[in-house]
Amino acid sequence: MRLDWIAACFALTMLAAPAFAADQEQKQKVAEDKAEVLEQKAAQNSNPAPAPKSEAITQPEVQAVDPAGKAPLDDAITCLARSIYWEAKGQDSQDMQAVANVVMNRLGHEGFPDTVCGVVKQGSETKSCQFSWWCDGRSDSVQEETRYAIAKEIARKALNKELPDLTKGALYFHDRTVKPDWSKEYTNTVNIGMFKFYKPHGGDAK
């Protein structure tokens, strides 16, 4: 009897697996489509209001995107989440949120691309990446699933405009352990965790 019960459970699991995979793929597609619309709106205007419920990305949807952390960086969620992860995965959640703030502040701002992936990859063609992890020559695959899940949740809130701007409009940042020459050209807006944040003198993020 016990063997029959185990066999039945196994059969049910095998039958459910394809349905679960299809559901996850559908959630991923919905999330990526929503993110594309949200990044376009963010690049076009400075409306601080959160996305309407019908347009907002949900938690299950964002977690279905790039679950293994190995997908190509070709959609807004993956580009933003992977940037948050690699820039601040070992730091406090506020550091991770602040990195997301900078990416979103740059989106559509003068001198920066109007897509999240464009912002993250800016400068790679000349080996002068704005985000160093993108040009360091190492694998961009995720190594810590829990931290990446947190990064995706922060990315979701950022795209939904549910994330407060902790950086006070910053467009640039660097690790506290270094002092780049370019930092003298900008106004230090705030220091958060391991990072210092900046914006142009007399200028604000769009």
Domain boundaries, the chain: 2-200
SS (H, E, C) 21-60: HHHHHHHHHHHHHHHHHHHHHHHHCCCCCCCCCCCCCCHH
How confident is the model over 79-123, as pLDDT tens digits? 999 999 998 887 788 999 999 999 999 998 988 999 999 999 887
How far apart, in whole angstroms, are the C-alpha atoms of residue 74 and residue 15? Answer: 32
Q: Does residue 52 carry a pLDDT above 70?
A: yes
Q: Which pLDDT value is given to residue 30?
A: 95
Of 6-20, 81-95, 117-131, the least confident: 6-20
What is the C-alpha separation between 127 and 125, in angstroms, rounded? 6
The helix (H) or strand (E) run that includes residue 117 is: helix 116-121
pLDDT (tens digit per residue) in 139-186? 778 989 999 999 999 999 999 999 999 999 999 999 898 888 888 899
Rounded-to-integer distance, Cα 200 and Cα 159, Å: 24
CA atoms within 13 A on the CB side of 59: 2
DSSP annotation of 110 reads T
